[in-house]
């Protein structure tokens, strides 16, 4: 359903201000910048978690003399290529 700006329904001053801010951010590309920054931070934290998990597995398996998992092998192989 198309909305005409002239017939914009008001939901109260607070909600109208929030809507106007969202519309303005979409028009300036600010949401894209914020999303890209968030995504980069999220990817880095996920990469760090994965690295910690595999490093811990490698150390534990080395101490016990047990073979590491195939996922861990692939991770370290890619990392050092």
Residue pLDDT tens, the chain, 81 long: 445 555 678 888 999 999 898 888 877 877 788 888 989 999 999 999 999 998 898 888 888 888 888 888 888 888 787
**Cα 60 from chain centre:** 30
Q: Look up residue 44 and give its two tokens.
A: 């880095």
Total domains in the fold of the chain = 1
Question: Domain containing 61: what range?
Answer: 14-79
Assess if residue 44 is contained within a domain.
yes
16-31 tens-digit pLDDT: 999 898 888 877 877 7
Assess if residue 61 is contained within a domain.
yes
pLDDT of residue 6: 57
Q: Look up residue 34 and give its two tokens.
A: 């914020």
Assess if residue 2 is contained within a domain.
no
Assess if residue 22 is contained within a domain.
yes
pLDDT of residue 5: 56
Assess if residue 5 is contained within a domain.
no
Assess if residue 1 is contained within a domain.
no
Residues 67/61, Cβ–Cβ less than 8 Å = yes
Residues 38/23, Cβ–Cβ less than 8 Å = no
């Amino acid at each position: 359903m198309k909305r005409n700006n002239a017939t914009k329904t008001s939901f109260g001053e607070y909600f109208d201000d929030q809507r106007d801010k969202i519309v303005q951010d979409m028009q300036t590309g600010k949401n894209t910048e914020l999303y890209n920054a968030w995504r980069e931070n999220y990817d880095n934290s996920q990469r760090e978690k994965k690295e910690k998990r595999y490093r811990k597995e490698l150390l534990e398996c080395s101490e016990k003399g047990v073979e590491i998992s195939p996922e861990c092998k692939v991770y370290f192989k890619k990392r050092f290529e």
